[in-house]
Chains A and B, each alone.
Chain A
């Protein structure tokens, strides 16, 4: 009987110990939007407002800023928790490393601005500290969390806006170059070639098709010389196409570039899923309390 109790105590102790070990690290929430509020401090309206502001900024500047409000960071220092969050979220663009995390641990009364490698020059630790103590902390003291975060975010945007970062557009078109849509271009070119030959005769149809394709490639960002060569090649291929072309197709069902321009980047998706761009952090930024 005694042994029975002893065993029970042992198991209970072991169980509790394992619980403590598990409780040591606070889990990091999944990144689904720019504003992650686990404490329900912000109203949906306030969240939307911030979300829109940050989204607009990202589209304009390419830099990703996110806000996370948690009840507590547990055993960890807020800086340790924060670096774990950004290592998982990867805010900012890859190589540019232009992400910023605004982290608030509400019950701990602590906050931190975590700055990506690429922005350590524009947001030095001193500035981050000042944003915390001058813009955020006073409002937090009055219980105005939305206002404090909003002011902090505004000042961060102001700083980042003054920095010459790679433009977001060029970054996107890099991700979707001519090479990616080459199969579509070739296939589309073949069809338009046949149609144009049917409409304008072999020579003029081919010339038209060649110049159209060359122009399209040029619009997609290829250098003028490269586009010209592409167009000439397209002209010869169209000339050499077998058959006499498809006759009788009226109208202009020429496949335009619609669908390839710009879109397809996760950030342009406002609500459903948003993810970090692969930016790195090295512990820059500042912490503070209120």
Chain B
């Protein structure tokens, strides 16, 4: 008799857990973490490009210290940042991270705009390669960010809708921060880097 009771209880609990969104949280949580790592990956890739880029540009330009230091500062700020998975559950740290990356985005696009004034630099094969890499990386960042925004949206909807929100409260699942629109604009302005060869 007792045995039967346990069985029924187990089955009920399993059904309840799958019906209340708990399992959904698990998969969406993992998914958003994965897409977040992709964002970090691509930002890292961009940061890795900066030293080479700065060195190449330095060889050609004069009196452009301001832009160059700006890039270097933004780069070191991004590099000094400890990005742990906890950033995802801490909106403040997330905003900080976002601001630092946004600053680097802005500094890089200004650097590339400056480069426009130096025909010799533009003709340098090394610079052109770096430029292609930077363009590609910025594009990957955009794609990764968009995918992160999508998965987080799904996760947040799951966490906030009834009756899942009760489960979420019980197990401490909070909504995750996402990239804001202002920064989104800044990022989508970044492809200005893509000046290339104007007609």
Contact = CB atoms under 8 A, between A and B. Distances in A.
Interface in A273-290: 281-289
A83 interface: yes
Interface residues of B, number: 20
Interface in B108-146: 128-129, 132-133, 135-137, 139-144
Interface string B167-199: 000000000000000000000100100101101
B136 A83 contact: no
Contacts of A172: none
B29 interface: no
Overall SS of chain B's interface: helix
A282 B38 contact: yes
B191 A79 contact: yes
A283 B132 contact: no
Contacts of B142: 79-80, 283
B133 A125 contact: yes
A261 interface: no
B116 to A, nearest CB: 15
Contacts of B139: 79, 283-285, 287
A287 B194 contact: yes
Interface string A181-197: 00000000000000000
A53 interface: no
A79 B188 CA distance: 11
B135 A286 contact: yes
B132 A125 contact: yes
Contacts of B194: 287
Nearest to B146: A83
Nearest to B130: A126
A84 to B, nearest CB: 10
Nearest to B147: A282
Nearest to B128: A129
Contacts of A286: 132, 135-136
Interface in A123-156: 124-126, 128-129, 133
A77 interface: yes
Contact of B140 (A282, A287, A288): A282
A282 B144 contact: yes
Contact of A126 (B133, B141, B188): B133
A246 to B, nearest CB: 52
10 contacts: A77-B188, A77-B191, A129-B128, A282-B38, A282-B143, A283-B136, A283-B142, A284-B136, A289-B196, A289-B199
